[in-house]
Amino acid sequence: MTKLVTIYGGAGFVGRYIARRMAKEGWRVRVAVRRPNESLHVKPYGAVGQVEPVFCNIRDDASVRAAMQGADAVINCVGVLTERGKNSFAAVQAEGAGRIASIATELGVPNLVHISAIGADKAAQSEYARTKAEGEAAVLDAFPSAVILRPSVIFGTEDAFFNKFAKMAAKIPFVFYLVGGNTKFQPVYVDDVAQAAVAGALGAAPAGIYELGGPDVDTLKGMVSKMLETIRRRRLIINLPFWVGRIMATGFSIAQFLTAGLFHNSILTKDQLKNLAVDNVVSDGAKGFDDLGIKPTSMSVILEDYLWVYRPHGQFEAVRESAKGLRDV
């Protein structure tokens, strides 16, 4: 009988790539999400009926258990970059992760993969990083043989990183402001993370924590420069001090409060500033892609494939560039 995997958050940025790969492996894929009707884009990843979105809220035991019934492997991709309503860092990244692991043990699921993040640390200043660490601890306490993946910032067609900065650059002329421009990152391609998750789900990766970083290490300012070069836009990049960033984050938070949440601050929060103060790279001696037999993909190979939409002339920019070399005959 075909095996079944339940992917919590399987319709999101990382989850959809994992779902596609698991379907190609011949597994039935149950995509557990809060809004199944908005997640129908996952259905074509496999044959008819092979990939199905189902309702689940990881804050609820019964919901998590129902989505996991009959699963041979479980992958948890759920996380939040900013808090909103009941979806706090603690509720989703710590309690939710622990709930999934506990129920997986209860139901006798053979393999569990949990997506965390580089920088997960119980002593971190950032609540995001602290709750990531608490989630890891809860997972390992309930399911000691789990595979935990800690990616650096993830890039790919649907990412909220390069797309966000490129969209800003397309709208804001002349000057590009950054906070934490000297912080180092090791961006990792989303499908490489998916490949690692699939290895864990198939039982091909030994239990443990893997830190996933791509072949390129660069500062935030350096990555924004690469993005600007890719979208063919010139901007003066100004690295603002953190105290200015705190003023900006406070202003955005006040605006969110005064509008009763109609304006959701996804631009810059105080917690994100705390994360930006710490380098986001693979630790010395940490297990990573090499241990999984995966060769990570460079940014330069992928960015051109999806950031072209932010060029001044979009898909025709390359044609215009090539035409510059033509002479009138």
- In tens, the pLDDT along 201-248 reads 999 999 999 999 999 999 999 999 999 999 999 999 999 999 999 999
Cα separations in angstroms, 91 against 10, 60, 78, 86: 18, 10, 11, 7
- Look at residue 45 and tell me whether its pLDDT is greater than 70: yes
Number of structural domains (the chain) is: 1
d(CA 109, CA 238) in angstroms, rounded, equals: 50
d(CA 80, CA 89) in angstroms, rounded, equals: 7
Beta-carbon contacts of residue 219 (< 8 Å; ≥ 6 apart): 181, 182, 183, 184, 185
Residue 150 lies in a domain: yes
Neighbour count for residue 151 (Cβ, 10 Å): 26
Which tokens is 57 given? 């809220």
- Look at residue 119 and tell me whether its pLDDT is greater than 80: yes
3-state secondary structure (DSSP) of residue 28: strand
Q: Could you tell me the residue range of the domain that residue 49 belongs to?
A: 4-156+186-215+280-296
Q: What mean pLDDT is predicted for residues 1-24?
A: 96
d(CA 198, CA 13) in angstroms, rounded, equals: 15
157 within 8 A of 303, measured Cβ to Cβ: no
Residue 11 lies in a domain: yes
Residue 228 lies in a domain: no
The H or E element that residue 111 is part of is: strand 111-115
Residue 35: give its domain's CATH number.
3.40.50.720
3-state secondary structure (DSSP) of residue 2: coil
pTM for the predicted model, two decimal places:
0.94
Residue 151 lies in a domain: yes
